[in-house]
Amino acid sequence: MAMTLLEKILAVHSGSEEVHPGEIVDIFIDCRAARDFGGANVIKNLKDFGLSVEDPSRTLFTFDCNPTGSDQKYAVNQHLCRLFARENGIKVYDIDSGIGTHLLIEEGYVFPGTTAVSTDSHANILGAVGAFGQGMGDMDIAAAWANGKVWFKVPPSVRINLEGKIPHGVSAKDIILNLLKIFGANSLLGYSIEMYGEAVDLLRLDDRITISSMATEMGAIIILFPPSTEVIEYCTLHAGKKFDVLYADKNAHYEKIFDINSSEFRQMVSLPGEPHNTVNVDTVAGMKIDSAFIGSCTNGRMSDMLKVASILKNRKVAPGVVLKIVPATDEIWKQCLEQGLIEIFKSAGALVSNAGCAGCAAGQVGQNGPGEITVSTGNRNFPGKQGKGSVYLTSPEVVAASAIAGYITTPESIPDKPALFKIPEKISSSKEKSNAKPAALNKSDVIEGRIWLIKKDNIDTDMIFHNKYLSITDIKEMGQYTFDNLNGFEDFSKKAKPGDIIISGKNFGCGSSRQQAVDCFSSLGITAIVAESFGAIYERNAINAAFPIVTCPDLSGMDLSDGDIIRISLKTGTIENMRNNQTFSAEPFSEVQYTVYQNGGLLSLV
């Protein structure tokens, strides 16, 4: 029986003479990768079921989601993976390496006719070199690591013939966006797509990578390209060996065949929220932007960097617009450095980050905020995927041109002067500013409550409110994280009650200037903190927030137990233990501290 390209690959790797659509086969996996996202769960699955790694030489970790290690949870997962790798002789492509799927090609693990799996949903990018790649869940990957094989249902195949000459200015990204416009997100759901035709024959390796990387957005299993001479030469060099190249049989059966005139393709943009909702770039031309991103597994290749550099050279990013550029691999980053591209990017005003997935994986540069309008070369613009703003997907050329113009445009239409953000007219108020002082709130100068004894010195702001929560701005949400990084008090927020008082040692609140380390106590209803001394910035933050902090230089003579009720006079500094009537002297509130406290905070006075 004649077979398609994917069927041939699956037949070879399942030890079968032939395979058929719908048939379930166990296929041998040549390369098995896990990322920092999901890698720790793969390890957990192996350990929970007492499984070992079948072949460490075919097994990899690729840290591409958060290649800066800037997120605490990612840092923990990465270290767990490193420890497991040392114990089992597994190669780690660490945070300086780049995107895992690209590395599989670059490092020679994958070449035409091979198979690979990863915890990356875009592992089907490997179809660019005529290989089978699939993104799979943690359990599947653990099974592949332990057994060397996974079961797979042979999908039906379709053939797309691109005929006609690709118009000038239409990039590989435009080709896949045009195909998304034709097929949408689900009309080819579950199919293996093979690409042929005059236009396909002319596509370079980087172009094929761009197109294959968005098979997932089309709902397809994979987009496969029959290997070209360039691809074979590249993979032979990087794999360091010769290999048999597989091609579909001439009389292979395809469930559907589409003949598409690629000469009608145009420069395209995906509207926010849906990668397949594509329009001609002219439809959104002139849309003012806040930021621009170039990178991801779709457009972080060297050819992309060269195109961007040619547009940015001797130009500047528009005032107020942020341009972020992230090469796909460290090798590409080094090429950018050697060829002077980094200097061009920086001179234009761009931020250049180390190689990795960047904003696409929410773990590196490239994220945006509410209301922010971004043009991006990523493969997805689902709500929240690259941040909370609006993301328009397009080619590197359009992104670079738009960053210079300050609005969405093409390289051919870059203006002499960029668009500037409009400064709103000053709103004049009919009310004159009052010089009257705010009325005091008549807050009690005596505080009484149950105490928590935390007999520690130098409790820093990361122990109080860890930096991984600093993006939280709503005080109501802060309380739940109070002390969750303080050894022995991780469950403080669950046990504390409104009205409680904390008693601690020297230098309470040392460390950073974060206001959250004060506000988290207010969120829980804690009424005061008594300590032998406070960090200088923390003291100011507490006073300005009208949160009562009381300095008692020597607590050693106080007979206190957890749960005691104490009464504090803020004016006199007297502290009384209601259990034994013992009294102690603390520093009374200063006039400034008491005034701010009575008026509900510094800004109320302002």
Predicted confidence band at 440 (pLDDT cuts at 50, 70, 90)? low
CA distances from 546 to 298, 429, 521, 605 (A): 51, 29, 12, 11
Q: Which CATH class is domain 446-605?
A: alpha beta
Helix (H), strand (E) at residue 117: strand 115-118
Find the mean pLDDT for residues 367-381: 89
What pLDDT is stored for residue 340 in this prediction? 97
**What is the share, in percent, of the chain residues with pLDDT greater than 70?**
97
Strand partners, 574: 585
Quick check: 552 pLDDT over 50?
Answer: yes
Which range is least confidently modeled, 33-37, 304-308, 412-416?
33-37
Q: Give the C-alpha separation, 307 to 523, whole Å.
A: 51
Place of tokens 């617009």: 321
Distance, CA of 332 to chain centre: 20
Higher-pLDDT residue of 363 and 574 is 574
Find the mean pLDDT for residues 322-347: 96
Cβ–Cβ under 8 Å, residues 285 and 269: no
Predicted confidence band at 433 (pLDDT cuts at 50, 70, 90)? low
Per residue in 237-285, pLDDT (tens digit) is: 999 999 999 999 999 999 999 999 999 999 999 999 888 999 999 999 9
Cβ–Cβ under 8 Å, residues 59 and 145: yes
Which range is least confidently modeled, 231-245, 275-289, 306-320, 440-454?
440-454
Q: CATH number of 268-413: 3.30.230.10, 1.10.340.30, 3.30.499.10, 3.40.50.2020?
A: 3.30.499.10
3-class DSSP state of 435: coil
Phi and psi torsions of 350, nearest 5°: -90, 155
User: Do 5-263 and 446-605 fold alike per CATH?
Assistant: no
Q: Which of 267, 41, 1 is nearest to 141 (CA)?
A: 41
Predicted confidence band at 69 (pLDDT cuts at 50, 70, 90)? low
Length of the chain: 606
Q: What is the DSSP letter of 98?
A: B
What pLDDT is stored for residue 81 in this prediction? 93
Between strands 157-163 and 192-196, the pairing is parallel
Find the mean pLDDT for residues 199-214: 95
What pLDDT is stored for residue 605 in this prediction? 81
Q: Which of 229, 234, 171, 235 is nearest to 199 (CA)?
A: 171
The one-letter code for the residue type at 163 is E
Quickly list DSSP for 517-555: HHHHHHHHT--EEEES-B-HHHHHHHHHTT--EEE-S--
**What is the share, in percent, of the chain residues with pLDDT greater than 90?**
79
User: Cα angle vertex 57, ends 53, 59, to 5°?
Assistant: 55
Cβ–Cβ under 8 Å, residues 269 and 177: yes
Entry pTM: 0.82
How many other C-beta atoms are found inside a 10 Å radius of the C-beta of residue 121? 14
Higher-pLDDT residue of 361 and 142 is 142
Q: Give the C-alpha separation, 79 to 378, whole Å.
A: 28
What residue spans define the domains of the chain?
5-263, 268-413, 446-605
What pLDDT is stored for residue 381 in this prediction? 83
Predicted confidence band at 560 (pLDDT cuts at 50, 70, 90)? very high
Tokens in use for 362?
Answer: 């929410």
Place of tokens 């089309």: 218
Q: Give the C-alpha separation, 407 to 227, whole Å.
A: 38
What pLDDT is stored for residue 360 in this prediction? 74
Quick check: 438 pLDDT over 80?
Answer: no
Tokens in use for 406?
Answer: 């300050």
Quick check: 115 pLDDT over 60?
Answer: yes
Tokens in use for 337?
Answer: 């450095």
Q: Give the C-alpha separation, 157 to 429, whole Å.
A: 68
Find the mean pLDDT for residues 435-453: 82
What pLDDT is stored for residue 394 in this prediction? 96
What pLDDT is stored for residue 74 in this prediction? 80
Q: Where are the alpha helices (DSSP H) in 431-474?
A: 461-464
Quick check: 19 pLDDT over 90?
Answer: yes
Find the mean pLDDT for residues 486-502: 96
Quickly list DSSP for 500-518: -EEEE-TTBTBS---THHH
Find the mean pLDDT for residues 461-471: 89
Strand partners, 322: 291
Dihedral sign for Cα 16, 21, 23, 29, please.
Answer: positive
What pLDDT is stored for residue 437 in this prediction? 57
Q: Give the C-alpha separation, 209 to 111, whole Å.
A: 13
Predicted confidence band at 451 (pLDDT cuts at 50, 70, 90)? very high
Number of H helices, E strands in the chain: 21, 25
What pLDDT is stored for residue 435 in this prediction? 58
Average pLDDT of the residues of the chain: 92
Q: Give the C-alpha separation, 226 to 157, whole Å.
A: 14
Q: Which of 525, 135, 104, 576 is nearest to 361 (CA)?
A: 135
Q: Which of 177, 589, 115 is nearest to 396 (CA)?
A: 177
Place of tokens 């691109």: 162
The one-letter code for the residue type at 528 is A
How many other C-beta atoms are found inside a 10 Å radius of the C-beta of residue 504? 22
Find the mean pLDDT for residues 123-150: 94
Distance, CA of 287 to chain centre: 25
What pLDDT is stored for residue 430 in this prediction? 45
User: Counting Cβ atoms within 10 Å, is residue 369 exposed (0-12), middle (13-18) or buried (19+)?
Assistant: exposed
Q: Give the C-alpha separation, 117 to 106, whole Å.
A: 16
CATH number of 5-263: 3.30.499.10
Q: Give the C-alpha separation, 368 to 355, whole Å.
A: 19
Burial code (b: 16+ CB inside 10 Å, e: under 16) for 34-52 equals: bbbbbbbbbbebbeeeeee
Quickly list DSSP for 227-293: PPHHHHHHHHHHHTS--PPP---TT---SEEEEEEGGG---EEEPTT-TT-EEEHHHHTT-B-SEEE
Helix, strand, coil percentages in the chain from 3-state DSSP, rounded to 5? 35, 20, 45
Q: Give the C-alpha separation, 242 to 236, whole Å.
A: 6
What pLDDT is stored for residue 185 in this prediction? 87
